[in-house]
């Protein structure tokens, strides 16, 4: 098998996870696809630097560097992105149907939650999205962002505290009317 074919077989199964990580870093699905596209190109060009051991970790590093270089200045917009994906909502379709009360409740909570996440400083936000939304472990998240696990823990702890505060405030305002 050719070297090119080896590369393709190694990298192709990682595309979905790369897209999820890219969405967490870039803040929306459109930029995520571009970011992964660039990552694949850079990986292919830099294949000589790859030791053949942990393709996912290697790809995460390239993805992270690309996101720093290109996407840092962009303002992420989870609100817009999640609104765009509301139509399909496969994650929600998998759950039992909601009662009308739950629909109302989620209508109140979701935009507030998205706004709270959007308002977080970048590092807090990406950590929170990776761990809580995308379900990565602390160790995976540390690897993706290139920081120690302790940093992930403290960022996440503070991010959850901030989001909780925003939700409490919104709830108070809703009660007051």
Token pair, residue 126, equals 């990406």
CA distance 175 to 10: 53
Options 79, 109, 147, 170; binder of another protein; rule CB under 8 A: 109
Q: Is 108 in the site for another protein (CB under 8 A)?
A: no
End-to-end CA distance of the chain: 67
CA atoms within 13 A on the CB side of 39: 31
CA distance 61 to 19: 14
In the complex, the smallest distance separating the C-beta of residue 116 from another protein, rounded to whole angstroms, is: 9
Closer of 25 and 113 to another protein (Cβ): 113
Q: Is 118 in the site for another protein (CB under 8 A)?
A: no
Q: Is 119 in the site for another protein (CB under 8 A)?
A: no
CA distance 145 to 6: 27
Q: Is 147 in the site for another protein (CB under 8 A)?
A: no
Cβ-contact 71, 32 below 8 angstroms: no
Q: What is the CA 106 to chain-centroid distance, rounded?
A: 21
Residues 6-45 that bind another protein (CB under 8 A): 7-8, 11-12, 15-16, 19-20, 23, 29, 32-33, 36-37, 40-41, 44
Positions touching another protein (CB under 8 A) are: 4-5, 7-8, 11-12, 15-16, 19-20, 23, 29, 32-33, 36-37, 40-41, 44, 82, 85, 88-92, 95, 109-110, 113-114, 117, 128, 131-135, 137-139, 142, 149, 153, 156-157, 160-161, 163-164, 167-168
């Amino acid at each position: 098998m050719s070297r090119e074919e080896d590369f393709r077989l190694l990298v192709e199964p990682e595309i979905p996870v790369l897209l999820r990580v890219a969405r967490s870093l870039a803040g929306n699905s459109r930029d995520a696809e571009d970011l992964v596209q660039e990552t694949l190109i850079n990986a292919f060009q830099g294949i000589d630097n790859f030791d053949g051991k942990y393709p996912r970790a290697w790809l995460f590093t390239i993805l992270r560097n690309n996101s720093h270089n290109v996407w840092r200045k962009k303002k992420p917009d989870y609100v817009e992105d999640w609104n765009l994906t509301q139509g399909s909502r496969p994650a929600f379709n998998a759950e039992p149907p909601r009662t009308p009360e739950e629909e109302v409740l989620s209508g109140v909570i979701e935009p507030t939650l998205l706004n709270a996440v959007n308002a977080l400083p970048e590092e807090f936000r990406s950590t929170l999205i990776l761990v809580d939304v995308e379900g990565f472990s602390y160790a995976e998240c540390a690897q993706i962002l290139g920081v120690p696990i302790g940093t992930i823990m403290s960022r996440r702890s503070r991010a959850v505290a901030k989001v909780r505060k925003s939700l409490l405030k919104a709830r108070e305002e809703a009660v007051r009317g």
